[in-house]
Chains A and B, each alone.
Chain A
Amino acid sequence: MVDAVLFEFLHTEMVAELWAHDSDLDPGPGGQKTSLLVLEGMGFRVGQALGERLPREMLAFREELDVLKFLCKDLWGAVFQKQMDSLRTNHQGTYVLQDSSFPLLVRMGSGLQYLEEAPKFLAFTCGLLRGTLSTLGIKSLVTASVAALPACKFQVVIQRS
């Protein structure tokens, strides 16, 4: 089994590499946007693949809320060795997942200092959530926001056709 810490190291290096590469190609906001999209897309594909590999028994969900709880407990536990701190919903398809100490932000310090950098470190995870949800039959939009490091919120909005 691969040690969990390797993902964090790999993720940090991935963000740095993609950021540098896309900034070389387009130094303005366009390059930054590309990087975020690329990271989100990678997270999405990984989330889909992860979802496909889960055993069927684990996926016997009765309702949408159960799926979100699964993300907060099992997925977060597997990926970050902790559970999401809180899950809120308006019961109309919007969920807010709160992590008071998001591991991919922890190394960046705390407070307001690196606020501008934070989105880079959240994009992959947003994609991961969106991808896992997709495999579980749920189409969504996932965004993240940071008020002060290392706390962050992931907002999941279910897309109904």
Chain B
Amino acid sequence: MSRQANRGTESKKMSSELFTLTYGALVTQLCKDYENDEDVNKQLDKMGYNIGVRLIEDFLARSNVGKCHDFRETADVIAKVAFKMYLGITPSITNWSPAGDEFSLILENNPLVDFVELPDNHSSLIYSNLLCGVLRGALEMVQMAVEAKFVQDILKGDGVTEIRMRFIRRIEDNLPVGEE
């Protein structure tokens, strides 16, 4: 009985590590393919965007969340549902702007960076930049144009990892002329 339970946990751990290790191998390969950190960051963002626009379907199918009425609800869903479902962590939401159009996600730990140390010659690399692209792509599919960027990073010696989310505008559906 306990052997079965061990197998299940081991399987989940392997599965989790597989993703982290694969992500690490990807970043390493991109650093070889592109000459500078800025280009790697852009590629990670672009790849994240491509993942995000498809991940949102998986999310909506599995999470049963309804439409968000404002950016605060969106923040809650991102932190408490999406991050929990996909990365097994629940970032805290802080630093709301007075206008309610910006907030920060604080990650105490980041599964993407398990086992990772940044070498000295990659100080501009935003290792987890894929995440920003994912957020941007996913939210675009639900009619929100946002900006996501890392403002603190444990990998760079900061105490926490902080992603700043900024609402740019709602993306209106393009309706043909003459229809309501």
CA distance A79 to B33 in the complex (A): 27
Minimal beta-carbon separation of B64 from chain A (angstroms): 16
Minimal beta-carbon separation of B30 from chain A (angstroms): 8
Judged by DSSP, the binding face of B is helix
CA distance A18 to B47 in the complex (A): 11
Could you say which of B71-79, B81-89, B172-180 contacts chain A?
B81-89
Judged by DSSP, the binding face of A is helix
How many residues in A have their beta carbons less than 8 Å from beta carbons of B? 33
Contact status A9-B33, CB under 8 Å: no
CA distance A3 to B19 in the complex (A): 9
The reply to whether the CB of A49 lies closer than 8 angstroms to some CB of chain B is yes
Per a CB cutoff under 8 Å, which of B15, B23, B29 touches A18?
Answer: B29
Against A, the Cβ 8 Å flags (1 = close, 0 = not) of B2-23 are 0000010011111111111111
Contact status B25-A2, CB under 8 Å: no
The reply to whether the CB of A141 lies closer than 8 angstroms to some CB of chain B is no
Could you say which residues of chain B place their CB within 8 Å of the CB of A53?
Answer: 14, 17
Contact status B14-A75, CB under 8 Å: yes
B interface, how many residues as a size bin? 20 to 34
The reply to whether the CB of B170 lies closer than 8 angstroms to some CB of chain A is no
Minimal beta-carbon separation of B129 from chain A (angstroms): 13
Could you say which residues of chain A place their CB within 8 Å of the CB of B21?
Answer: 45-46, 49-50
Could you say which residues of chain B place their CB within 8 Å of the CB of A10?
Answer: 19, 22-23, 26, 51
The reply to whether the CB of B55 lies closer than 8 angstroms to some CB of chain A is yes
Q: Which of B11, B25, B47, B54 has the most CB of A within 10 A?
A: B25
The reply to whether the CB of B159 lies closer than 8 angstroms to some CB of chain A is no
- Contacts from A to B (Cβ < 8 Å): 1-7, 9-11, 13-14, 16-18, 21, 38, 42, 45-46, 49-50, 53-55, 58, 74-75, 77-79, 81, 124
Task: Jot down 10 A-B pairs with beta carbons below 8 A, ordered by A.
Answer: A1-B12, A6-B19, A7-B18, A10-B22, A13-B51, A17-B43, A42-B25, A74-B7, A74-B11, A81-B15
